[in-house]
Amino acid sequence: MTTHYTILALAPGTLAELRMRDDAGAPPRAVTDTEGGTPLRCCLRRSEPEETLALVSYAPLRRWARETGADPGPYDEVGPVFIHPTDCGGWTASPNGAYPDAMRGARRALRAYSTEGRILGGLLVEEGREDAPAIEESLTRLYADPLVAAVHVRAVEYGCFHVETRRSAMR
């Protein structure tokens, strides 16, 4: 059996909830992105100039734990993410499972979690460096550990959640 990972945007049901009340209990904040280029977690693309976005608090590990029965304990956290204020159709995964280009960045932190919701480790990815591995290689390296159930990708500078990956087994 070969092990792979699946890349996930925020699920439609989660987005519907966040568009009403976010994970901090607040209504979404409307923001006009004058310059564009903001990473959107609903469709895993970048915003266009002058596009209206919703800024919401999101607790990725808490929501994953609710779905899987894990207990993130002290690893639970809430942070800001941008989404479209209305349904945008979401993200369509590429047929080859490629990492979404819009979520790439010079520096990303990858955090690996066990099925129990405990952090197992992580990696710093610096794709711009000459000798640095691509994010796909780093994800494959983390998933080589059979205890890793999910890996969250975050921006280094702000710590913002970008995308979730989960272990998926294929024969």
Give the pLDDT confidence score for residue 51 in this predicted structure. Answer: 97
How far out from the chain centre does Cα 51 lie? 21
pLDDT tens-digit map of 113-128: 999 999 999 999 998 7
| Residue 143: its H or E element | helix 135-143
* CA count, 13 A, side-chain hemisphere, 112: 20
Instruction: Read off the amino acid at residue 11.
Output: A
Give the pLDDT confidence score for residue 2 in this predicted structure. Answer: 53
Instruction: Read off the amino acid at residue 92.
Output: T
Whether 53 shows a pLDDT value over 70: the answer reads: yes
Give the pLDDT confidence score for residue 1 in this predicted structure. Answer: 43
CA–CA gap between residue 33 and residue 40 (Å, rounded): 11
Average pLDDT over residues 79-85: 96
Whether 14 shows a pLDDT value over 90: the answer reads: yes
Choose among 141, 142, 138, 146: nearest CA to 121.
Answer: 142
Distances (CA, A) of 168 to 19, 91, 97, 142, 159: 29, 18, 11, 13, 26
Give the pLDDT confidence score for residue 3 in this predicted structure. Answer: 52
pLDDT tens-digit map of 62-77: 998 888 888 888 888 8
